[in-house]
C-alpha cells in the first residue's frame, strides 16, 4: 500500500461526516498493509491495525501494533479526529516486557496526541521478570537505550504516514524506568524530542534498584533468614512519623512537606510493655532504622542515598509483607540473578549472599545508566526537560534525583543556565509516580507544551490531590480543578511552596514561594 493511496483514503475520510466511520476504518486497516521496512535506523513491520471505539473520555483511535527490527515491539494510537499535529511517546516501567505504557497513552490521545509505546525489546510474563536477560546482552542494550529510540523513530514515521503530514512537535513522558528512558533520550538521542518529562528516574537501573530493594527487604531478616517485623506494624510507623513531622511546615494536613527536615526516630515507638501492633521491639526498631538510613558505602564504591524517607512507610509493605515472596525482594532477586553483574549468576543465586563490601563495585553501570549530567547537545538543540519526583516515593529515592540535578547544575554552568532547559519538581506526599496523601497530579504535559511552543518557562505549577490518580502524576481525563480535594503550587527545585500561616490550607492561594538558595 503506497503513501499516495493512504493520502487518498485520508481525503475520503475528511470528505463527508456521514461516511467518516467507514472511511476511517478503511484508512486504519490500510495502515498495517503499508511498507515501513525502509525507515532509516528502524526498519519496521506493522502486524495489525484496527479502530478502537471511543470510551471513557478517550476518542476513537486507530491502534497499530508491530515491531522495529529485529524484535522491538511497538504500539501507536492515532486519534481519528482532532489530531493536534503532535507526537507523544509513553515510557515503560520496571523491566517492561509488554505494552504496559499503552493505558498511560489514553490521556494524551484524549488531548489529540498520536501516542506510541514499546515493550523495550522483549516479552515477559510481568514487568518484574528478568529471565529474558539471562546471558542476553543484545536484549539488555535494547532495554538500556536502543528500544526507546527505534520505537520513537518508527512511531513518528507511522504517524506522519497515517496523517499524510509532518509532525509539529514531539514529546516524551515516562516515570520510574520511564524516567530513566527520559534521561537516556536527552543524553544519547538529544534530537528525538522537543520536550521530555521524566518522573522518579531510575538513574542506575542495574545499581540503584537492586541495592535499594535488596537492602530494605533483607533489613527485615535475622541471621537465620527469619522475618523480624510483621507488616501489620507498618501503618503504626507511618502514623508516628507523620505525627512527628507533619506540622513542621506550619500546617497539619497528613503530609510531611519536606521529609529531609524530619528527625523521626522509630525508637520513640519502643514497646514499654507486651509487644503489640502499635509499638516496636528493639529488633523492629533496628529494622526501621536500617530502612530509613539505607546501606553505608564500604570499600571504594559509593552511591546516592538509598534510605527511604519519612512519609514513605505505607510503601514498605512491598518490602516486608511475604518475606522472600514480597514483591520487592522478588524484583531485586531477578535483577541480581540476570542483569546486575557482567556475568549473570543465574537462577540459583541467593540474594542473601550479596556482599555489601564487594558486590556493589561489581555491578554493571553503562548500558542501563541514565545519569550522565552533560546534556549540552540536548540544550543546544532547543530541548526542554521537566523532571519530577515525589517526596513520599518508597521505591526510588527523591534524594537521588536531587543529587543528580545538583550535579547537572554544576556540569551545565550553574542553576540559571540549567533552568533554561531543565527543571525539577518535588511534589510533597507523592508516592512512586502516582498516588499518595499529598500532591499526586500536576499538568506537566501542559507546562511542557507552553515551554516548548510558546517559550513560557514553567514556574509555579498547579498541583492537586485527587482520588482518581493515574501514572506519571498526570491529570485524569476530564479533570477539573473543582474535582480536587486540595491544591497547592509546586515550584522548581530548590524552591518550594510554604503555607503563609493564614486561610484554608486546601487553597493554593494561601501558599507562597520559599527560595531554596
| pLDDT value at residue 517 | 63
CA–CA separation, 473 and 467 (whole Å): 12
> Across-strand partners of 498?
512
| CA–CA gap between residue 389 and residue 201 (Å, rounded) | 8
Nearest to 113 by CA among 51, 150, 152, 159: 159
Neighbours of 495 (CB within 10 A): 18
- Same domain flag for 25 and 48: yes
Statement to judge: residues 441 and 509 lie in one domain:
yes
Say if residues 197 and 172 touch (Cβ distance below 8 Å). Answer: yes
HEC sequence for 165-223:
CCCCEEEEEEECHHHHHHHHHHHHCCCCCCEEEEECCCCECCCHHHHHHHHHHHCCECC
The gap from C-alpha 497 to its chain's centroid, in whole angstroms, comes to 23
Residue 232 and residue 373 in one domain: no
Over the stretch 195-239, which tens digit does the pLDDT of each residue have? 999 999 998 876 777 788 888 989 999 988 899 999 999 999 999
* Contact predicate 96/120, CB 8 Å: yes
Distance between the two ends of the chain, CA-based, in angstroms? 59
My answer on whether 346 and 470 are in the same domain is: no
- Residue 424 phi, psi (nearest 5): -115, 135
The CA–CA distances, whole Å, from 500 to 245, 428, 437, 504, 508 equal: 18, 16, 21, 10, 10
Rounded to 5°, angle at Cα 434 from 431 and 439: 70
What is the model's pTM? 0.93
Residue with cell 503489640: 276
Are 422 and 452 in the same domain?
yes
Tell me how crowded residue 70 is: count the other CB atoms within 10 A of its CB: 9
d(CA 52, CA 105): 14
Burial (CB count <10 Å: 0-12, 13-18, 19+), residue 465: buried
Task: Give the number of domains in the chain.
Answer: 3
| Bridge pairing between strands 61-68 and 44-52 | antiparallel
What integer pLDDT is reported at residue 300 of this predicted model? 65
Which residues make beta-bridge pairs with 465? 486
For helices 147-163 and 20-31, what crossing angle results, to 10°? 140
- Quick: pLDDT tens for 242-263: 999 999 999 999 999 999 999 9
The dihedral sign for the CA sequence 86, 91, 96, 99: negative
Side-chain-facing half-sphere of 430: CA atoms under 13 Å:
33
Domain boundary among 362, 385, 403: 362
For residues 64 and 97, the answer to whether their CB atoms sit within 8 Å is no
Residue among 186, 192, 207, 429 nearest 310 (CA): 429
Same domain, 126 and 190: no
Which cell numbers hold the place of 88?
507523544
Residues spanned by the domain of 381: 172-202+368-517
- 273 and 216 share a domain? yes
Residue numbers in the chain where pLDDT is lower than 50: 1-23
Q: Which of 362, 388, 412 is the last residue of a domain?
A: 362
- Regarding whether 405 and 313 lie in a shared domain, the answer is no
Query: Would you state the cell numbers that stand for residue 445, as one nine-digit string?
Result: 504535559
Q: Are 79 and 60 in contact (CB under 8 A)?
A: yes
> Cα Rg for the chain, rounded, in angstroms?
24
In our burial notation (b when 16+ CB lie closer than 10 A, e otherwise), range 504-514 reads: ebeebebbeee
3-class DSSP assignment, residue 322: coil
Q: Which residues pair with 173 in a beta bridge?
A: 90, 197
The reply to whether 83 and 120 lie within a common domain is yes
444 and 503 in a single domain? The answer is yes
Is there a single domain that holds both residue 213 and residue 182? no
Measured between alpha carbons, how far is 177 from 90 in angstroms, rounded to an integer? 11
- Cβ(280)–Cβ(233) below 8 Å: yes
Same-domain status, 351 and 396: no
Amino acid at each position: 500500500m503506497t503513501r499516495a493511496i493512504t493520502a487518498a483514503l485520508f481525503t475520503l475520510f475528511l470528505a463527508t461526516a456521514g461516511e467518516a466511520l467507514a472511511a476511517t476504518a478503511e484508512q486504519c486497516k490500510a495502515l498495517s498493509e503499508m511498507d515501513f521496512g525502509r525507515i532509516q535506523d528502524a526498519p519496521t513491520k506493522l502486524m495489525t491495525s484496527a479502530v478502537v471505539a471511543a470510551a471513557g473520555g478517550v476518542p476513537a483511535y486507530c491502534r497499530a501494533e508491530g515491531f522495529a527490527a529485529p524484535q522491538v515491539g511497538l504500539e501507536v494510537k492515532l486519534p481519528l479526529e482532532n489530531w493536534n499535529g503532535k507526537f507523544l511517546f509513553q515510557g515503560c516501567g520496571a523491566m517492561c516486557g509488554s505494552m504496559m505504557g499503552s493505558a498511560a497513552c489514553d490521556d494524551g490521545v484524549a488531548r489529540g496526541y498520536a501516542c506510541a509505546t514499546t515493550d523495550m525489546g522483549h516479552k515477559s510474563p510481568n514487568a518484574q521478570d528478568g529471565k529474558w536477560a539471562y546471558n542476553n546482552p543484545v536484549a539488555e542494550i535494547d532495554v538500556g537505550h536502543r528500544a526507546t529510540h527505534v520505537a520513537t523513530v518508527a512511531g513518528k514515521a507511522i504517524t506522519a504516514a497515517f496523517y499524510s503530514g509532518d509532525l509539529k512537535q514531539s514529546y516524551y513522558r515516562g516515570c520510574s524506568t520511564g524516567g530513566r528512558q527520559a534521561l537516556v533520550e536527552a543524553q544519547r538521542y538529544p534530537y528525538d524530542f522537543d520536550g521530555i518529562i521524566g518522573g522518579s528516574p531510575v538513574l542506575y537501573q542495574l545499581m540503584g534498584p537492586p541495592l535499594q530493594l535488596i537492602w530494605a527487604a533483607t533489613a527485615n531478616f535475622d541471621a537465620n533468614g527469619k522475618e523480624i517485623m510483621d507488616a501489620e506494624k507498618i501503618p503504626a510507623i507511618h502514623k508516628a512519623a507523620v505525627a512527628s513531622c507533619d506540622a513542621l511546615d506550619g500546617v497539619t494536613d497528613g503530609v510531611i512537606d519536606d521529609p529531609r527536615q524530619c528527625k523521626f526516630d522509630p525508637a520513640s515507638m519502643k514497646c514499654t510493655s507486651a509487644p503489640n501492633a502499635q509499638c516496636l521491639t528493639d529488633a523492629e526498631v533496628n529494622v526501621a532504622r536500617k530502612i530509613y538510613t539505607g546501606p553505608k558505602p564500604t570499600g571504594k564504591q559509593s552511591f546516592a542515598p538509598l534510605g527511604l524517607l519519612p512519609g514513605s512507610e505505607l510503601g514498605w509493605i512491598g518490602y516486608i509483607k511475604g518475606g522472600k515472596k514480597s514483591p520487592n525482594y522478588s524484583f531485586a532477586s531477578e535483577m541480581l540473578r540476570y542483569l546486575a553483574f557482567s556475568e549473570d549468576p543465574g537462577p540459583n543465586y541467593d540474594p542473601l549472599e550479596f556482599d555489601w563490601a564487594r558486590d556493589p563495585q561489581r555491578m554493571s553501570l553503562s548500558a542501563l545508566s541514565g545519569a550522565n549530567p552533560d546534556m549540552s547537545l540536548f540544550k543546544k538543540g532547543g530541548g526542554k526537560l521537566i523532571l519530577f519526583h515525589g517526596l513520599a516515593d518508597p521505591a526510588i529515592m527523591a534524594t537521588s534525583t536531587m543529587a543528580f540535578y545538583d550535579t547537572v547544575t554544576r556540569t551545565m554552568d550553574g542553576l540559571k543556565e540549567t533552568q533554561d532547559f531543565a527543571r525539577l519538581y518535588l511534589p510533597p506526599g507523592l508516592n512512586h509516580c502516582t498516588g499518595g496523601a499529598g500532591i499526586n497530579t500536576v499538568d506537566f504535559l501542559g507546562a511542557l507544551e507552553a515551554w516548548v511552543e510558546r517559550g513560557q518557562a514553567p514556574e509555579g505549577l498547579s498541583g492537586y490531590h485527587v482520588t482518581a490518580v493515574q501514572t506519571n502524576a498526570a491529570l485524569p481525563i476530564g479533570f477539573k480543578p473543582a474535582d480536587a480535594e486540595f491544591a497547592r503550587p509546586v515550584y522548581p527545585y530548590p524552591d518550594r511552596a510554604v503555607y503563609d500561616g493564614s486561610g484554608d490550607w486546601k487553597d493554593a492561594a494561601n501558599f507562597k514561594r520559599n527560595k531554596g538558595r
